[in-house]
Structure 1
Amino acid sequence: MVHANACLTPKGRLRLARCVVEDGWTYARAAERFQCSSATAKKWADRYRVGGQEAMNDQSSRPHRSPRQLARRRERRIIKVRFTRRWGPHRIAAHLRLPRSTVEAVLRRYRMPLLRDLDQASGLPVRRAKARRYEHAAPGDLIHVDIKKLGRIPDGGGHRKLGRTIGNRHNKKQGRGYAYLHHAVDDHSRLAYSEILTDERKETASAFWGRAKAFFGEHDIVVKRVLTDNGSCYRSKLFAEALGDDIAHKKTRPYRPQTNGKVERFNRTLNQEWAYAQTYFSDEARAATYQSWLHHYNHHRPHTGIKSKTPIDRLRVHNLPVKNS
């Protein structure tokens, strides 16, 4: 920003305009003195005649009318989707079939805070330290593997959607327990393979990895490293045998889930967009929709971490064959 006494800032414009209007200088003489064009000298002199000293300040470049501005009803719909689903502009734009730049302009106009500045539980703005991000250069360089325990939904529905009174009544009739979601997420492309299984034993985790490796092989991804936490199933000899000698096994630092951040972010997306996105009246009804949602995640959902591409599109950048089924 230039200082207040520089030429042709409000103070300099006022001096130029007074030389022309009050002292009778010609536009050419004033322009030579203040090192500008005659047209510029005339512009500020004319403004001084009409508005005086106040007219020397910069005026807003916003047009008086914007006939092509988005309708107020559609603006409110953008804000509603942002507020209720906490989506970024890329997802709102895809959902409402609008240009991303239009959605971003509406969010700025309404002063909506960035998603990274919101607390996920309350939705209130918070200040957070900026996290360091990393990404491996090619598919298969690192696969994040993890298990998420997800409370089963009792028949009739659970307390998250129906309230504590009804949900607890359904729980008492049959008990609930947990489903175990085993994940494998490619660090570079975010391509995910996942299954809902009954436990987290070493036999189950090892068999899951065999199917996950085959899935990545179908996409011509050669796995080089696998990153897991320090769970007992991953420390077992059986899991080491499933990995084989050609895949390096790395473990996260204890009590540091951020190290396995790609799969933790997948878990959060799963919670928001599938597990609790709608009301399910049984655990079987929710499980029946999982593979369909997983296909949507891999093939159709844009991901901000990979420049709004889908995981399948990211694989195409590396000229890898894509399986669409």
Structure 2
Amino acid sequence: MVHANAPLTPTGRLRLARVVVEDGWPLRRAAERFQVSVTTAKRWADRYRETGEQGMQDRSSRPRTSPARTPTRTERRIIKVRVLRRWGPARIGYLLGLNPATVHRVLTRYRLARLTHLDRATGRVVRRYERDRPGELVHVDIKKLGNIPDGGGHKILGRQQGRKTRSGAGYSYLHNAVDDHSRLAYSEILPDETQHTAVAFWQRAHTFFTHAGITVEAVLTDNGSCYKSLLWRDTLAAQQISHKRTRPYRPQTNGKVERFNRTLLDEWAYAQPYQTETDRRAAYPAWLHTYNHHRRHTALGGQPPATRVPNLTGQNT
């Protein structure tokens, strides 16, 4: 493969070499004609004399020997630890007495999958998928979040004082629904995770998706008690929506909403030291709007979820 900044293609090299070797041009004249250095002109002319037209192709820059390369036996030990224990480069390096950068190079050389791409239980590569259209599958989940006591928690008061004010603050429950295809999210902060609260949330979420022009066909949840209730089953059945559940102890199956949970924790819940729970909740609607309409999503080619839902209002607000 020719380097992006190479002045000559294999065809250009051949022409240069022929005018020097066959037509007798001086090296300086040929170099000026093809706008390269005299050294470059000589290199291609000499290679043409030695190997002919085949010599005009790029040669591998890999050295013939690599005396500093990690021994094969050590590489095998690195791979064995990675496969059996599913450790990262730092832990493997500490165990084997190696620089973590060396371990990382070995793992990259053998193209071992990143730990984030592996199933924790089996070690197998997680198969990524994306539904073809909005509404084909909506992921639903609940994230339990500790409330911030009045006056702030440990981020403001320090860990010791924060422990004293933490008692009695209680919990909030973020009920989340994320469309698989577009990553469009509907979320509410509610006081509990009972079946009646979960069903009422879904009714409002379903209305939200409907107003966005999305027809929900299936919902994926974990095996929480509220999602196993008859009320939840009957509600989805009345809406002609099929209900799918994740396998027990496999939260990655519901990965789209699990990733949303992590994003909201990093970018909203713990993004700044809030003075009260009221302050944090007041910031949530604006963050959720930003997530849906403006935050660029790597899985969507750098576009926000709203770009995949043509009927959604507010994209440009």
Judging changes above 3 Å, is the alpha-carbon distance between structure 1 residues 191 and 40 closer, same or farther for their aligned structure 2 residues? same
SS of residue paired to 1:272: helix
Aligned twin of 1:266 = 260
Residue-by-residue CA offset, 1:82-110 (whole Å, 9 max, x unaligned): xxxxxxxxxxxxxxxxxxxxxxxxxxxxx
Q: How far apart, in 2, do the equivalents of 1:167 and 1:283 lie?
A: 14
Aligned twin of 2:179 = 186
Equivalent pairs: percent with the same residue?
56
Residue 301 (structure 2) pairs with residue 311 (structure 1): no
The 5-angstrom pairing of residues 246-261 of structure 1 reads 246-261=240-255
- What is the CA-CA distance between 1:38 and the residue it aligns to? 6.5
Residue-by-residue CA offset, 1:221-273 (whole Å, 9 max, x unaligned): 11000000000000000011221241000000100010000000100110111
Aligned twin of 1:137 = 132
Aligned twin of 1:146 = 141
SS of residue paired to 2:150: coil
Residue-by-residue CA offset, 1:139-195 (whole Å, 9 max, x unaligned): 1000000000001001111124542112112224xx222100000110011111110
- What is the CA-CA distance between 1:312 and the residue it aligns to? 1.1
Judging changes above 3 Å, is the alpha-carbon distance between structure 1 residues 40 and 210 closer, same or farther for their aligned structure 2 residues? same
In structure 2, give the amino acid aligned to 1:206.
V
Aligned twin of 1:232 = 225
Tell me if the contact between 2:139 and 2:178 (Cα under 8 Å) persists in the aligned partners.
Answer: yes
Residue 296 (structure 2) pairs with residue 302 (structure 1): yes
TM-score normalised by L of structure 2? 0.63
Aligned twin of 1:39 = 30
Aligned twin of 1:176 = 169
Aligned twin of 2:115 = 128
Tell me if the contact between 1:158 and 1:170 (Cα under 8 Å) persists in the aligned partners.
Answer: yes
Gaps of at least 5 residues in structure 2 are: 3-7, 43-57, 59-106, 108-112, 118-125
The 5-angstrom pairing of residues 1-325 of structure 1 reads 28-30=19-21, 39-40=30-31, 45=38, 127-128=114-115, 130=117, 131-172=126-167, 175-245=168-238, 246-316=240-310, 321-324=311-314
SS of residue paired to 1:244: helix
Q: How far apart, in 1, do the equivalents of 2:298 and 2:19 lie?
A: 55
Q: How far apart, in 2, do the equivalents of 1:276 and 1:282 lie?
A: 13
Tell me if the contact between 1:155 and 1:283 (Cα under 8 Å) persists in the aligned partners.
Answer: yes
Judging changes above 3 Å, is the alpha-carbon distance between structure 1 residues 37 and 230 closer, same or farther for their aligned structure 2 residues? farther
Judging changes above 3 Å, is the alpha-carbon distance between structure 1 residues 38 and 171 closer, same or farther for their aligned structure 2 residues? same
Judging changes above 3 Å, is the alpha-carbon distance between structure 1 residues 262 and 37 closer, same or farther for their aligned structure 2 residues? farther
TM-score normalised by L of structure 1? 0.62
SS of residue paired to 1:181: strand
Q: How far apart, in 2, do the equivalents of 1:128 and 1:300 lie?
A: 29
Judging changes above 3 Å, is the alpha-carbon distance between structure 1 residues 170 and 140 closer, same or farther for their aligned structure 2 residues? same
Residue-by-residue CA offset, 1:207-230 (whole Å, 9 max, x unaligned): 111111011111111100000000
Q: How far apart, in 1, do the equivalents of 2:23 and 2:169 lie?
A: 85
Judging changes above 3 Å, is the alpha-carbon distance between structure 1 residues 220 and 28 closer, same or farther for their aligned structure 2 residues? closer
- What is the CA-CA distance between 1:129 and the residue it aligns to? 5.8
In structure 1, give the amino acid aligned to 2:188.
E
Tell me if the contact between 1:31 and 1:41 (Cα under 8 Å) persists in the aligned partners.
Answer: no
| Count of aligned pairs between the two proteins | 225
Tell me if the contact between 2:30 and 2:41 (Cα under 8 Å) persists in the aligned partners.
Answer: no
Q: How far apart, in 2, do the equivalents of 1:166 and 1:308 lie?
A: 42
